[in-house]
Structure 1
Amino acid sequence: MALNNNKTTRALLGTGALALAGLVTMPAQAADAESIIRDRCLSCHTETGESATPFSRISEQRKTPEGWMMTISRMQQQRGLVISPEEKRTLVKHLADTQGLAPSETDGVRYLLEKEPNVVESFDQLVQETCVRCHSGARVALQRRTEDEWKHLIHFHMGQQPTAEFHAGARDRAWFDIALTNVAPKLAKDYPFNSDAWNNWQKVNKKSLNGTWAMTGYMPGKGTFDASLRVSKTAADNYTVALEGQYADGTPLSGEGRAIVYAGYEWRASLTIDGVKVRQVLAASADGSALEGRMFERDDEIIGGSVKAVKGNVITAVTPSYIKQGERKLVTISGNNLKGNVQLGNGVKMLNVVSRNANRVVVLAEASKTAKVGAINVKVGRTSAKTALAVYDQVARVEITPSESIARIGGAGGPIPKLKSAYRAVGYAAGADGKPGTEDDLRLGYMPAAWSLKPFDEIAQHDNDIKYAGTISRDGVFTPGDAGLNPERRMSTNNVGNLSVVGTVNDGNNNVQGEAHLLVTVQTFVKPVLQ
């Protein structure tokens, strides 16, 4: 599904590249990795004799850990490479460390690494028409090559997919000539092999991630949580991890697993939390004081959410992040080393402390009926969280995230499972201008909502998509219908459909709705080369 505008084309993405959370291994030595390359790769590649780029086609690229994993997996499946799992792990670790990407080079496109579903991405029209019409733009943006190597990649596409220039969007023009003459130089400029960002990052003294972290996050169907993440170093860049905490409703969570760090900041962890296997794809800050990214179920990547972990004296979250004028409610402050008096800001009074420990303080708060509408700071002792709590008069509008989404039918005894979609409601109060829907609006944060579906248009209504395409739970998780023919539908068609997701936030006597577009479509029959 694509949405076009004048200068860029925005493509709706599902899940992306492989997470390497399970590839925990002993530290790779450069000599070991280079020996593996000589033993396993030089039947096709060659040694160049150049110290900067010693191996042809290999040494002229930089990629994420997932990118290198995909490359080696493709060599196995399409080129007959024979390599053991241990050698593969060693090689991925070495290449990601020595020919990886700097943190700044992954900015804006980490959603592919983190398997964030339903991202609407925007790329230059030239790149869109040449590359993104087949795969995500983030896949292009998460690698670096010399100009010659970008040209080699174009030749590879023509050799591997000779019909590429006859696809819609290519056959009406000289696609191959445009790709070589215009696109390759642009990619070499936008995503160069040599960069100051990577050179400077290699010089940075990487911090150990050992220690205790305060983690906050969200999981669909369960809600927000805060926890203590204990990280213990077992070898260079290898850690054991243990997670202990609770969800906002008081339900405990606990788990443990292992983690590995690539390129000094790319955290990949595999944990079992309350019997469910999950993955973490996070990025560490340069000073080693923060980890941020996404955690999701291993077997259902849609079921996941953003997480953040920090060290030091810091407030990581205030839940809920809003309080209405004249309202009394429980407020949870999460963080690390939370010591001292709690201060909720002007117009909001703390009535009493319900419970507290070093990482979590629950207070009963009350907002004055005349409290000023706006964002206020929350403090615990000397630790402050700026604009952490929003005081509002009424909910003016609600946005549903994601605004555009795809779910895929599946199951019904077939080998391809259903691909769900998860939603949250974000509330806003009108800003100082009193007009909802402007940049002046006050973001309140995620709010509880009642969820429902309706036909997106007249065709969906005529085809009765609302009955067959799927259902949405009270937690905002949409489960699509079964794959295959449905004899109950007209002409026994399948259960795809075009729907609107409706989230209704109750604000006293005021019910405010937001809507998002959901396209329920067929399975993905072509599996990427990932394993």
Structure 2
Amino acid sequence: MKAETKNKRLHIVGAVAMALGVTGAVSANAAGDPGREVIDRKCASCHLEGGKLTRIPEIRKSPEGWDMTVTRMGIWHKVELTAEERRAVVKYLADRQGLAPSEAAPFRFLTERRPNMQDTPPDEEMAQMCGRCHSFGRVALQRRDEAEWRKLMHTHLGQFPSAEYSALGRDRNWWEIARDKMPGRLAALYPKNTDAWRDWSRAKHRPADGRWVVAGERPGWGAYTGVMTAVAKGNDKYEVSYELHFGAGNKVRGHGDAVIYTGYEWRGSARLGNEDTRSVFALSENGSRISGRWFLKHADEIGASFEAVRADKTAKSALALVTPHMLRAGDTATVTVAGAGLDAKVDLGPGIEVVEWLGKSAEQLKLRVKVASDAAPGLRKVVVGGRESDKSVAVYRQIDSVRVEPAFGIARVGGGTNPPMTAQFNAVAFLNGPDGQPGTDDDVRLGSVPATWSTEPFDERAKHDEDLRFAGHMEPHGQFLPSFAGPNPVRRGLNNVGNLSVIATVADGDRALNAKGQLVVTVQRWNPTPLR
């Protein structure tokens, strides 16, 4: 009986190995991957059919997508996994059935938790059929063939039978469209088998260990530069330390860890200063750069952009940041260039002269520059060591216009165990483009500028309901802090929601420029999924 059980188990494990495309010895121990072992024990019992693993091998997803799948199995089918087992399964599947960098790139704003970003479905039908209950990016960050997309439609109807009776469902033959039309369209847009994934899954990926020169911008705080050091701990895991510099004398140190999925998907945690943070980055295909975003653990709307260049002997004038990003004609300014393998030969473009060197190293160049009074306004590519970079500086005589970013923001009231969701705004300066008109597509972006912030009712209804009084308040650095959840008896039983205009006032010499954005303060979100 024992031998029979053992043989049966070996048969199941072997079938799982073949179904997942794993070659080599049949046993899970020989494969040596804890994620595969968990799949053998806890997934194959339902997914094995005719000696072949079903469903799981037919899908590719982002790490967040696989994590949501594993969580859903626990909710729907009572699959019990420890936190360690869950991480192991997600790692195993994301590595073998993930997305190539080019496939994930269009919707990285979702995985990076960038606030106030707008989904862009391919057309109105896709938006209505797929994007009315969750983001369309949640669809686009997975790959299936037509049969598997059709099974997903059946799953939707089985688990959410009210879908065809809700808004944008009951006004059409929803089920017939979902069953007969959408699988083919989705399989054409997001197929399981692609050249991009074949090439990426076969490629050798460069580890992320080593020293990195980092840079970015945190709205409300400004630009930063610094260093990140990653020490390999095995199985794509790293111990990470940070030293970031925000302006003169403002230094933030941190320590944490990270895991790399699919050869490039960085997911990390760190304590930066006194803040607990999460990071979602992507390594470039050659492993020489990292880009993405880090954000607060319990408030992902607050965070910073992140870019890093590998600081090793292979680096040749690789730039991470040039600051300040805007220089006024006729002024003298101190410019800092951060990067790796920097050559002390800098060209900032016509009309900008280096008059003094203040510091030179392979990772930072600091120089005083004089901008000619007749220098033409516009962008100049920064050239270091004879290499043109993707970084630029802008020359201007005066700011032509200012915009509030985001132009439309959302904050959420909080209370009880559900904290408020704040909204961070930034003021950005622009030059008029060739058409000479502000607010058009050809405007030249200069960059973030300091501003004085205020709010006012967005319309007459907001004024009547006293939204300005009840919805929350704006901090000096552009962060809106919403009020507590209602109903509020002082407000005739209404919740503390609101519709406000956000106003940035920017000083440019003796001129003052104003810009407006809109802020909707709404109710709490009760289901904060990794992919919304």
TM over 0.5: yes
- 8 A contact 1:375–1:387 mirrored in 2: no
- 8 A contact 1:73–1:529 mirrored in 2: no
* Counterpart in the other structure of 2:344: 340
Q: Describe the superposition over 1:463-492 as per-residue Cα deviations: whole angstroms up to 9, x where unpaired.
A: 121121111112111111111122332x13
Q: Describe the superposition over 1:253-276 as per-residue Cα deviations: whole angstroms up to 9, x where unpaired.
A: 111211111111101111111131
Q: Describe the superposition over 1:276-331 as per-residue Cα deviations: whole angstroms up to 9, x where unpaired.
A: 11111011111001111111111111111211111223122111211111223332
Gaps of at least 5 residues in structure 2 are: 1-28
Question: CA–CA distance in 2 between the matches of 1:425 and 1:405?
Answer: 13
Gaps of at least 5 residues in structure 1 are: 1-26
Task: Identify if the C-alpha distance between structure 1 residues 430 and 28 changes in structure 2 by more than 3 Å, giving closer, same or farther.
Answer: farther
Structure 1 counterpart of 2:55, one-letter code: R
Question: CA–CA distance in 2 between the matches of 1:243 and 1:485?
Answer: 44
- 8 A contact 1:429–1:442 mirrored in 2: yes
* Counterpart in the other structure of 1:88: 86
Question: Which runs of structure 2 are paired with 1:239-250 in the superposition (5 Å)?
Answer: 239-250=238-249
- 8 A contact 1:433–1:440 mirrored in 2: yes
Task: Identify if the C-alpha distance between structure 1 residues 113 and 430 changes in structure 2 by more than 3 Å, giving closer, same or farther.
Answer: same
Task: Identify if the C-alpha distance between structure 1 residues 250 and 31 changes in structure 2 by more than 3 Å, giving closer, same or farther.
Answer: closer
Once the two structures are TM-superposed, the CA of residue 195 in structure 1 deviates from its matched residue by 1.3
Structure 2 counterpart of 1:150, one-letter code: W
Q: Indicate yes or no: 2:191 matched with 1:192.
A: yes
Structure 2 counterpart of 1:117, one-letter code: P
The one of 467, 472, 482 equivalent to 1:470 is: 472
- 8 A contact 1:256–1:271 mirrored in 2: yes
* Counterpart in the other structure of 1:268: 267
Question: CA–CA distance in 1 between the matches of 2:40 and 2:244?
Answer: 47
Question: CA–CA distance in 1 between the matches of 2:334 and 2:468?
Answer: 38
Question: CA–CA distance in 2 between the matches of 1:395 and 1:439?
Answer: 16
Secondary structure of the 1:71 match is helix
Task: Identify if the C-alpha distance between structure 1 residues 464 and 362 changes in structure 2 by more than 3 Å, giving closer, same or farther.
Answer: farther
Structure 2 counterpart of 1:46, one-letter code: L
- 8 A contact 2:59–2:192 mirrored in 1: yes
Secondary structure of the 1:183 match is helix
Secondary structure of the 2:373 match is coil
Question: CA–CA distance in 2 between the matches of 1:381 and 1:28?
Answer: 51
Question: Which runs of structure 2 are paired with 1:487-526 in the superposition (5 Å)?
Answer: 487-489=489-491, 491-526=492-527
Q: Indicate yes or no: 2:377 matched with 1:373.
A: yes
Secondary structure of the 1:281 match is strand
Once the two structures are TM-superposed, the CA of residue 192 in structure 1 deviates from its matched residue by 0.9
Tell me the TM-score normalized by structure 1: 0.89
The one of 306, 316, 321 equivalent to 1:317 is: 321
* Counterpart in the other structure of 1:141: 140
- 8 A contact 1:486–1:495 mirrored in 2: yes
Once the two structures are TM-superposed, the CA of residue 32 in structure 1 deviates from its matched residue by 4.2
Once the two structures are TM-superposed, the CA of residue 382 in structure 1 deviates from its matched residue by 4.0
* Counterpart in the other structure of 1:447: 449
The one of 99, 106, 109 equivalent to 1:108 is: 106
Question: CA–CA distance in 1 between the matches of 2:147 and 2:211?
Answer: 46
Once the two structures are TM-superposed, the CA of residue 28 in structure 1 deviates from its matched residue by 12
Q: Describe the superposition over 1:80-108 as per-residue Cα deviations: whole angstroms up to 9, x where unpaired.
A: 10222222222111100111010111121
Secondary structure of the 1:119 match is coil
Once the two structures are TM-superposed, the CA of residue 384 in structure 1 deviates from its matched residue by 4.4
Task: Identify if the C-alpha distance between structure 1 residues 81 and 395 changes in structure 2 by more than 3 Å, giving closer, same or farther.
Answer: same
Once the two structures are TM-superposed, the CA of residue 186 in structure 1 deviates from its matched residue by 0.8
Structure 2 counterpart of 1:435, one-letter code: Q
Greater helix share, 1 or 2? 2
Q: How many residues align?
A: 497
Secondary structure of the 1:503 match is strand
Once the two structures are TM-superposed, the CA of residue 30 in structure 1 deviates from its matched residue by 6.6
Question: CA–CA distance in 2 between the matches of 1:48 and 1:127?
Answer: 35
Question: Which runs of structure 2 are paired with 1:25-36 in the superposition (5 Å)?
Answer: 29=31, 32-36=34-38
Once the two structures are TM-superposed, the CA of residue 386 in structure 1 deviates from its matched residue by 4.9
- 8 A contact 2:319–2:391 mirrored in 1: no
Once the two structures are TM-superposed, the CA of residue 383 in structure 1 deviates from its matched residue by 5.1
Task: Identify if the C-alpha distance between structure 1 residues 183 and 61 changes in structure 2 by more than 3 Å, giving closer, same or farther.
Answer: same
Question: CA–CA distance in 1 between the matches of 2:378 and 2:418?
Answer: 48
* Counterpart in the other structure of 2:39: 37
Once the two structures are TM-superposed, the CA of residue 356 in structure 1 deviates from its matched residue by 4.8
Once the two structures are TM-superposed, the CA of residue 248 in structure 1 deviates from its matched residue by 2.3
Once the two structures are TM-superposed, the CA of residue 398 in structure 1 deviates from its matched residue by 1.3
Question: Which runs of structure 2 are paired with 1:217-256 in the superposition (5 Å)?
Answer: 217-256=216-255
Question: CA–CA distance in 2 between the matches of 1:400 and 1:478?
Answer: 13
Tell me the TM-score normalized by structure 2: 0.89
Q: Describe the superposition over 1:148-198 as per-residue Cα deviations: whole angstroms up to 9, x where unpaired.
A: 211111111111111111101111221111101111111111111111111
Task: Identify if the C-alpha distance between structure 1 residues 424 and 529 changes in structure 2 by more than 3 Å, giving closer, same or farther.
Answer: closer
Task: Identify if the C-alpha distance between structure 1 residues 162 and 30 changes in structure 2 by more than 3 Å, giving closer, same or farther.
Answer: farther
Question: CA–CA distance in 2 between the matches of 1:156 and 1:188?
Answer: 17
Secondary structure of the 2:374 match is coil
* Counterpart in the other structure of 1:19: none
* Counterpart in the other structure of 1:291: 290
Moved more, 74-83 or 425-434: 425-434
Question: CA–CA distance in 1 between the matches of 2:488 and 2:49?
Answer: 58
Q: Describe the superposition over 1:393-437 as per-residue Cα deviations: whole angstroms up to 9, x where unpaired.
A: 2111112211122110013xx111000111112211123443333
Once the two structures are TM-superposed, the CA of residue 116 in structure 1 deviates from its matched residue by 0.8
Question: CA–CA distance in 1 between the matches of 2:325 and 2:367?
Answer: 13
Measured on the aligned residues, the alpha-carbon RMSD in Å equals 2.1
Relative contact order, CA 8 A, sep 6+: which one is greater? 1
Question: CA–CA distance in 2 between the matches of 1:465 and 1:211?
Answer: 51
Once the two structures are TM-superposed, the CA of residue 40 in structure 1 deviates from its matched residue by 0.4
Question: CA–CA distance in 2 between the matches of 1:120 and 1:524?
Answer: 17
- 8 A contact 1:218–1:224 mirrored in 2: yes
Structure 1 counterpart of 2:333, one-letter code: K
Question: CA–CA distance in 1 between the matches of 2:525 and 2:156?
Answer: 21
Task: Identify if the C-alpha distance between structure 1 residues 184 and 30 changes in structure 2 by more than 3 Å, giving closer, same or farther.
Answer: farther
- 8 A contact 1:409–1:523 mirrored in 2: yes
Task: Identify if the C-alpha distance between structure 1 residues 218 and 157 changes in structure 2 by more than 3 Å, giving closer, same or farther.
Answer: same
The one of 459, 462, 471 equivalent to 2:461 is: 459
- 8 A contact 1:407–1:421 mirrored in 2: yes
* Counterpart in the other structure of 1:15: none
Question: CA–CA distance in 2 between the matches of 1:362 and 1:345?
Answer: 16
Structure showing greater radius of gyration is 2
* Counterpart in the other structure of 2:13: none
Secondary structure of the 2:95 match is helix
Secondary structure of the 1:122 match is coil
Question: CA–CA distance in 1 between the matches of 2:506 and 2:57?
Answer: 54
Structure 1 counterpart of 2:106, one-letter code: G
Once the two structures are TM-superposed, the CA of residue 343 in structure 1 deviates from its matched residue by 3.7
Q: Indicate yes or no: 2:74 matched with 1:76.
A: yes
Question: CA–CA distance in 2 between the matches of 1:527 and 1:28?
Answer: 39
* Counterpart in the other structure of 1:175: 174
Structure 1 counterpart of 2:421, one-letter code: L
- 8 A contact 1:48–1:56 mirrored in 2: no
- 8 A contact 1:30–1:94 mirrored in 2: no
